[in-house]
């Protein structure tokens, strides 16, 4: 196989072209849009975590995201806190799609320091692989964990997420997905504690959130 076809750039281009081709191919069929519960109805108490503030998503941001349902909340467990952001898309055929935090956060002034994939044990639902991303804004640092939820699949890679959407479009005539993002402040540059906090928070909300997303 030519070396170019084995490169990351070629794989990315292939994934995007395949996803676009499948969506165009299936565009003439009425899409099966699954029912789901409103994100706003997610419990304000998740284990030992409790809502402290509802995040405000202004209309300009909503217009940019083009999500069908949005949630931004701040939860706390004792002295530690975390932000949960969810952007749910019932269909992607009209060009709507999740915005990667790796693109959005730098655009809002946050500088990336490190990134990689990370496994989180969620309990009864098993382990999921997410993106672990450390960012800085001046002297402030935050830990970001995010992934794409398509039915029962938690997917870290943006390109694999696009491929799974293409597969679901062909097999099930549906293109729904959701971006799930958790942000935890890093205090005194202690990334290990922030990581444990994020894992604990994900274990607390993940089963409940799954009930609010299509399966």
**55-79 per-position pLDDT tens digit:** 999 999 999 999 999 999 999 999 9
Which three-class secondary structure state does DSSP give residue 91? Answer: coil
d(CA 80, CA 45): 15
What's the pLDDT band for 6 if we cut at 50, 70, 90? very low
pTM, two decimal places? 0.85
Among candidates 100, 94, 84, 105, which has minimal Cα distance to 39?
A: 84
Predicted pLDDT of residue 187: 96
End-to-end alpha-carbon separation of the chain, Å? 38
Q: Token pair for residue 75?
A: 């939860």
Predicted pLDDT of residue 190: 97
Q: Which residue has the tokens 């999500």?
A: 67
Q: Reply yes or no on whether the pLDDT at 95 is more than 80.
A: no
Residue-wise pLDDT tens digits, 163-185: 888 888 888 888 999 999 999 99
**Backbone dihedral region of 189: left (phi > 0), alpha (psi from -120 to 50 degrees) or beta?**
left
């Amino acid at each position: 196989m030519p070396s170019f076809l084995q490169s990351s750039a070629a794989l990315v281009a292939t994934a995007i072209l395949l996803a676009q081709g499948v969506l165009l191919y299936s565009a003439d069929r009425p899409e099966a849009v699954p029912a789901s519960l409103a994100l706003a109805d997610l419990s304000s108490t998740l284990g030992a975590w409790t809502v402290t503030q509802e995040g405000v998503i202004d209309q300009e941001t909503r217009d940019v995201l083009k999500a069908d349902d949005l949630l931004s909340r701040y939860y706390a467990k004792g002295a530690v806190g975390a932000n949960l952001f969810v952007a749910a898309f019932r269909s992607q055929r009209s060009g709507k799609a999740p915005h990667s935090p790796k693109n959005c956060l730098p655009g809002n002034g946050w500088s990336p320091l490190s990134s990689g994939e990370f496994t989180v044990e969620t309990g009864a639902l098993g382990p999921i692989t997410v993106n672990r991303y450390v960012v800085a804004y001046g002297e402030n640092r935050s830990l970001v964990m995010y992934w794409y939820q398509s039915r029962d699949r938690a997917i870290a890679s943006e390109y694999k997420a696009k491929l799974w959407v293409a597969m679901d479009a062909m097999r099930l005539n549906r293109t729904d997905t959701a971006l799930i993002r958790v942000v935890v402040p890093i205090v005194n540059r202690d990334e290990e504690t922030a990581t444990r906090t994020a894992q604990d928070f994900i274990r607390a909300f993940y089963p409940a959130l799954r009930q609010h997303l299509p399966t």
